[in-house]
Amino acid sequence: MNESGHQAILFPTLKIEALKSAPLKERYDVVIFISANAVEYGLEALSSLNHNHDQIFAVGAATAKKLDHHGFKVDAFPQDKASSESLLAMGEVKKLSNKDILIFRGKGGRETLKEGLGSNNVVEYIEVYRRVRCNVKTLHAESLTQFLSSKEGVITITSVENLSTMMSIIEQINADAMAHIKQYPLVVLSDRIKTYAQSVGFNRVEVAPQTNDNGLVQAIGLIE
């Protein structure tokens, strides 16, 4: 953000904790990673398969890059928009049938991939990390005060859980501030997050054209 000329104000909402998990089988036809965090925290479990899989799919470019960095060849991933829906729409994924599929994800993730693949395949999850809400600290209060001191602020949000946790932390610090926060423009990574944001009172919501930092910066530039 700072490199693009914007001043970033940190307001941490969630932290990632590793989970000890192991695959139920020794071999899978396909393994799928739904995030870069799934790669980072799933490497030990992936290595335990000893390359006993035919294909690796990633939910987006950042996840594929992380796999490549660790020496794993990715067979396919959505080039434009990182999402479960985009992955399911790919020809390589549509034709999967009678396959044993293992999905690396965080605890309590969405069911979209399993629902899309489960009718023709055997699909299992391995949950390798969980998101934990950050404790309220002095930094949160200071960042909130600094942000509200300007009318030119923009809020960036990367998940529904991220947004709901941000609101909860703000309400703990200063419940009256929520009415002001909802007046600021909000940049999000998907239509699903936009729908949730609007349901809780945010009206100025812009969806990033790409599901990455560059997309967030582009969307910020569109806000007057």
pLDDT tens readout for residues 22-57: 998 989 999 999 999 999 999 989 888 867 778 999
Whether residues 181 and 127 share a domain: the answer is no
Percent of the chain with pLDDT over 90: 71
Average pLDDT, the chain: 91
pLDDT above 70 for 148 = yes
Task: Determine if the pTM surpasses 0.85.
Answer: no
Range 106-130 average pLDDT: 92
Whether residues 120 and 140 share a domain: the answer is no
* Owning domain of residue 166: 135-222
Whether residues 41 and 117 share a domain: the answer is yes
Inside any domain, residue 6: no
Given this model, what pLDDT does residue 5 score? 63
Q: How confident is the model at residue 213 (pLDDT cuts 50, 70, 90)?
A: confident
Q: Name, in order, each residue with C-beta under 8 angstroms of 30's C-beta and a sequence gap of 6 or more.
A: 53, 54, 55, 56, 57, 96, 99, 100, 101, 102, 121
Whether residues 123 and 141 share a domain: the answer is no
Whether residues 157 and 128 share a domain: the answer is no
33 phi/psi in degrees, rounded to 5:
-115, 130
Indicate the number of domains in the chain.
Answer: 2
Whether residues 27 and 56 share a domain: the answer is yes
Other CB atoms within 10 Å distance of the CB of residue 63:
26
Given this model, what pLDDT does residue 3 score? 54
Question: Domain holding 38: CATH number?
Answer: 3.40.50.10090
Given this model, what pLDDT does residue 48 score? 83
Residue 106: strand pairing partners: 129
Other CB atoms within 10 Å distance of the CB of residue 179:
9
Query: From edge to edge, which strands make up the β-sheet containing 55-58?
Result: 14-18, 122-133, 100-106, 30-33, 55-58
Whether residues 216 and 168 share a domain: the answer is yes
Given this model, what pLDDT does residue 224 score? 58
Which of 132, 161, 190 is where one domain is finished?
A: 132
pLDDT above 90 for 93 = yes
Whether residues 142 and 109 share a domain: the answer is no
